[in-house]
Structure 1
Amino acid sequence: MTTTGPDGAGGTAEAARKTRAAVSARSGSGRPSLASRIAARTGGGALRVVLVLVGLFWLIPAIGLLLSSLRSPADISASGWWEVFVRPAQLTAENYTRLLQNDTITHSLLSTVLITVPATVLVVVIGSLAGYAFAWMDFPGRDWWFLAVVALLVVPVQVALVPVSRLFGEIGIFETTAGVVIFHVAFGLPFAIFLLRNFFAEIPRELLEAARLDGAGEIRLFTRVVLPLGAPAIASLGIFQFLWVWNDMLVALIFADSESPPITVALQQQVRQFGNNIDVLAPGAFVSMVIPLVVFFAFQRQFVSGVMAGAVK
């Protein structure tokens, strides 16, 4: 028989004792398991330190490339980039001066910009319009058309290289900037439509119906309601498309103008003469890498919001 005080504290203590006994019986002892202790500690400062170290580890190649691009060709050939910490006098900006004076690399950077920017903008604009249409507009065969778009996601780029090359040759856009842009837009749209359609479909129907009751047409509804709400997903799509087009070499190697190729192809051609132009290759490679990093960090907040948009309802 359990003895209780005036406030029933004895019954509460007995219930707590039984609960602890049941937990100990299930775990085998009164002490937390090793896995439980490790899991409890991973959420603290130790995990943050590990993540910072991993991030710094992945930055080592970028740091090494930056320091190499600031060294003379003789120093690059004689020792590793870490020597600058012992001999900081090696650092110089002469390589970037030569880079700006190299017509091949500068024209390649301009060609890359002329390909990447239109290909990104067109995919974002057309993908947004098509995603809205598939999500909120009724037209014959809408679901079947969307299934066809999804099916195009599994088509590899390599399958289309030969037939598209022949088509571009017949219509006169082979080895032109327009041809490369069209190819990237064609293969970027299926993913863009799929991503934005699913994101736009999560917008509350009541919000759109309220806007329609206020007299908003489809264009105003799209620009005033859907686009602001879909900005995180659109920013994420823009980052993905920009990085993919900027870093592409396969499509550029086949469809781009051989006289003014994108930076990836130009650097690959420079590698063939590595010993003679290492002073141009190192800064050119760093510039090619740092521009996508700047774009990513500039839209980092929108990118994270777009990735996490569907995580919390």
Structure 2
Amino acid sequence: MKTYTENSRLTINILLSFFAFLWFLPFLFVVVNSVKTRKEYNLGEFWDFPQGFSVLENFEYINTRIDFMMGFLNSLLYGAIATTLAILFASLAAYAISALKIKWKMFWFMLIYSGTIFPFQMYIIPIFRMYSNVDLYDSKIGLLAVYTALCIPFCLFVLRNYFYSIPKELVESAKMDGATDFKIFVSIFMKMAKAPIAACFLFQFTWVWNDLLFGLTLSKSAEARPIMSSLSLLNGAAGTNDVPSALLAAILASIPTFFIFLVLNKSFNYGFPTTSK
């Protein structure tokens, strides 16, 4: 029986290692070819190892075609601020729906959560027309507002479910000690919700960072354009394609989300199953 179990475990490990390698293979291709020159990439074989290390040259090409750093900083701004504001607003709404005595709790929840039911593409034309009329088109404030609003429903869903799992006895004990509703929200609900908050931040920051639809539609200048919209213009700006430079730009653009995942990994692993009760 023991031998059978060990053989089964070995077979599973081999299969998982094989699938992990297949999953990692495209990333390996990106890394290998991102350090090649354009000539070496076009004339060489698909899996040839690079003859040199042309990272600086490729990065200089990127900067001559697009304002990479401006897009990078814009997306950091949008991701950090929009996600933080969304979590703040969603946590207040989740606390009111789950812990306070308000009328039509389910109605308010469904009203806010309905923002995720419809495809985001259907919001593009109304938002574009409104922004054009109120001078928010091609502005950082306009994109921040859109990203914040679109992140709120998911955060509300996660935090509301978690807040319902907090024992009512704990809240009643705090009220007996004279704590106000806001004090209970800050001292109990928010402190106990660090794990789901981390999960919400990871999910929503990644979505904002990877967004292309709203970035392309609601911005046209480098001062407001996020990173993914900037990368989409990389090759077309010159009329020619420099694949190694595009691959290098993609690697550099993936660093923030990878770093945030490493930082929040433990909280994410604990928070996701907890909030899905």
Structure 1 contact 70–95 (Cα < 8 Å) conserved: no
Contact kept in structure 1, 2:196 and 2:268, CA below 8 Å: yes
> CA offsets, 1:148-177, max 9 Å, x none?
223332122111111111111221111111
- 8 Å contact 2:231–2:249 — kept in the other structure? yes
Determine the structure 1 residue equivalent to 2:257.
292
Matching residue within 215, 219, 228 for 1:264:
228
Q: What is the distance in 1 between the residues matched to 2:8 and 2:205? A: 34
Separation in 1, partners of 2:155, 2:31: 34
Aligned mate of 2:31, from 66, 76, 79? 66
Amino acid at match of 2:40: D
Equivalent in the alignment of 1:150: 113
Any idea what SS the aligned residue of 1:203 has? coil
Would the alpha carbon gap of residues 49 and 180 (structure 1) be closer, same or farther in structure 2, given more than 3 Å must change?
A: same
CA distance in 2, matches of 1:216, 1:193: 24
Counterpart mapping for 1:105-184 below 5 A: 105-184=68-147
Aligned partners of 1:73 and 1:278 also within 8 Å: yes
Match of 1:98 among 60, 72, 75: 60
CA distance in 1, matches of 2:276, 2:97: 22
Distance change in 2, residues 1:215/1:185 (3 Å): same
Distance 1:298 1:66 in 2: 23
Aligned partners of 2:145, 2:232: CA distance in 1, in Å? 23
Partner Cα distance (1:289, 1:80) in 2 = 26
Cα deviation code 1:169-200 (max 9, x no counterpart)? 22111111111111111122112112211111
> How far off its partner does 1:145 sit?
1.2
The letter for the 1-side match of 2:266 is R
CA–CA distance in structure 2, aligned partners of residues 43 and 130 of structure 1: 49
SS of alignment partner, residue 173 of structure 1: coil
Q: CA RMSD in A?
A: 2.6
Q: Which residue of 2 aligns with 1:221?
A: 184
* Residues in 2 aligned to 1:104 and 1:244: alpha-carbon distance in whole angstroms: 22
Aligned partner of 1:20 in structure 2 is none
Report the CA distance shift for 1:45/1:200 in structure 2 as closer, same or farther (over 3 A): farther
Could you tell me which amino acid in structure 1 is paired with residue 260 of structure 2?
V
Aligned residues of 1:99 and 1:283 also touching (Cα < 8 A): no
Give the conservation status (yes or no) of the 8 Å contact 2:72–2:227. yes
Q: Deviations over 1:238-288 (max 9, x none)?
A: 111011111110110001243442221121111324745445322111111
| Correspondence for 2:194 | 231
List structure 1 segments (4+ residues) > 6 angstroms apart after TM superposition: none
Q: Is contact 2:87-2:155 (8 Å) kept?
A: yes
Whole-Å Cα distance in 1 between the matches of residues 176 and 111 of structure 2?
33
Paired position in structure 1 for 2:149: 186
Q: Which runs of 5+ in 2 are unaligned?
A: none
Tell me the TM-score normalised to structure 2 length.
0.87
The equivalent residue for 2:48 is: 83
Quote how far apart the aligned CAs of 1:81 are: 6.0
Q: Which moved more, 1:98-107 or 1:126-135?
A: 98-107
Write the letter of the residue equivalent to 2:195.
Answer: P
Could you say which structure has the greater relative contact order, defined with CA pairs below 8 angstroms and 6 or more residues apart? Answer: 2
Paired amino acid for 1:93: V
Correspondence 1:49 to 2:14 = yes
Is the Cα contact below 8 Å between 1:75 and 1:90 reproduced in 2? no
Contact in 2 for aligned 1:168/1:179 (Cα 8 Å): yes
Tell me the TM-score normalized by structure 1: 0.78
The code of the aligned residue for 1:52 comes to S
Structure 1 residues 232 and 95: CA distance shift in structure 2, 3 A: farther
2:22 is aligned with what amino acid? F
- Distance in 2 of aligned mates of 1:230 and 1:106: 34
Which is higher, the Rg of structure 1 or of structure 2? 1
Supply the distance in 1 between the matched residues of 2:155 and 2:272 (Cα, whole angstroms).
Answer: 14
The Cα shift of 1:136 comes to 0.4
Letter in 1 for 2:229: V
Q: 1:290 offset after TM fit, Å? A: 2.9
Spell out, residue by residue over 1:127-149, the C-alpha distance to the aligned partner (whole angstroms, 9 max, x if none).
Answer: 11211111101123333211222
